[in-house]
């Protein structure tokens, strides 16, 4: 069921507003999304990370909607998407979020997407590759590592911080430290204020320890990893991942030396051009 559209309270530009709709997926989740652009076979799906929402990709929507169909979403518990009532840890697994995405694509009649995921959003892409690889024409990640093993001490400290600060406190922290770019921090802060407290805590529990290396090994779809030079925490975990990915036939590593964890917001023009070139290569390959 598709519910009526509503206007984005955060304008995307000069008099421009994002059109947002909601879709009910099963009995428990209502997902907000924004679908725009030209009606063709190539759909770009952008998926945010923990705490953020679809508004993270407003500039990508404006840029790519001229030539592609562009889908932005807010995962369960984020933005204006609904949150499960009395959730368990399993309700916020990466696989459950991937199934939400799968259900939304079916609802919209979209059979294939070029997937672009930031941070946790990249993990959702890996999960989709695992449960239904046929949905993905390509997979681009940034601010994401395919393998992470957080120490128990670090995990406990992070979870304690999440519980103590809650969404408002995390939003404050994001507002002062998430990026070197003050304008980016200012845009991120209201997004983090909207996330569910349960989503913050339970997802943090679920993504402390994971490994998608086998998933990567078993699939040969075109993949691109964009590495922000200032994204120190992610970069220190990328070594083994790049060793595996470097052997894949259609893999690209692209460096954005002056970008951090939110490369698409910090350097939008550079990010858009990198993604545009990657997508053009896939189009050419498909015609050969």
Q: What is the pLDDT along the chain (288 residues), one digit of tens a residue?
A: 444 444 344 444 444 578 999 999 877 789 999 999 998 778 999 999 999 999 999 999 999 999 999 999 999 999 999 998 899 999 999 999 999 999 999 999 999 999 999 999 999 999 999 999 999 999 999 999 999 999 999 989 999 998 999 999 999 999 999 999 999 999 999 999 999 999 999 999 999 999 999 999 999 999 999 999 999 999 999 999 999 998 888 999 999 999 999 999 999 999 999 999 999 999 887 766
Rounded CA separation 167/35 (Å) = 27
Helices (H) and strands (E) in the chain, counts: 11, 11
Q: Residue 142 corresponds to which tokens in the numbers above?
A: 């940034």
pTM greater than the 0.75 cutoff: yes
Could you tell me which residues come within 8 angstroms of residue 30 by beta carbon, excluding any fewer than 6 positions away? 3, 22, 23, 24, 81, 82
Rounded CA separation 148/127 (Å) = 15
Environment class of 248 (CB within 10 Å of its CB; exposed 0-12, middle 13-18, buried 19+): middle
Sheet holding 69-73, edge to edge: 2-7, 19-25, 29-37, 69-73, 43-47, 113-118, 136-142, 223-228, 251-256
Helical packing angle, 94-108 and 120-132, nearest 10°: 70
Cα torsion angle, 207, 93, 176, 168, sign: negative
Rounded CA separation 86/74 (Å) = 20
């Amino acid at each position: 069921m598709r519910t009526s559209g509503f206007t984005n309270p955060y304008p995307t530009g000069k008099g421009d507003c994002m059109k947002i709709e909601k879709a009910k997926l099963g009995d428990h989740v209502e997902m907000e999304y924004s679908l725009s652009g030209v009606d063709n076979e190539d759909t770009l799906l952008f998926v945010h990370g923990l705490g953020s929402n679809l508004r993270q990709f407003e500039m990508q929507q404006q840029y790519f909607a001229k030539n592609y169909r562009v889908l932005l979403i807010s995962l369960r518990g984020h933005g204006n998407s609904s949150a499960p009532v009395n959730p368990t840890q399993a309700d916020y697994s990466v696989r459950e979020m991937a199934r939400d995405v799968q259900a939304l694509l079916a609802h919209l009649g979209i059979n294939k997407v070029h997937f672009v995921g930031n941070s946790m959003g990249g993990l959702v892409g890996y999960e989709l590759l695992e449960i239904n690889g046929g949905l993905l024409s390509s997979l681009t990640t940034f601010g994401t590592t395919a393998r992470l093993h957080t120490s128990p001490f670090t995990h406990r400290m992070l979870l304690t911080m999440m519980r103590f600060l809650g969404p408002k406190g995390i939003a404050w922290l994001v507002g002062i430290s998430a990026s070197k770019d003050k304008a980016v921090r200012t845009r991120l802060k209201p997004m983090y204020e909207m996330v569910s407290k349960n989503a913050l805590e339970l997802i943090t529990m679920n993504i402390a320890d994971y490994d998608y290396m086998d998933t990567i090994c078993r699939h040969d779809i075109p993949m691109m990893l964009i590495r922000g030079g200032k994204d120190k925490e992610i970069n220190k975990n990328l070594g083994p991942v790049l060793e595996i990915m470097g052997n894949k036939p259609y893999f690209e590593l692209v460096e954005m030396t002056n970008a951090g964890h939110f490369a698409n917001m910090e350097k939008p023009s550079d990010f858009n051009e990198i993604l545009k070139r990657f997508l053009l290569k896939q189009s050419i390959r498909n015609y050969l």
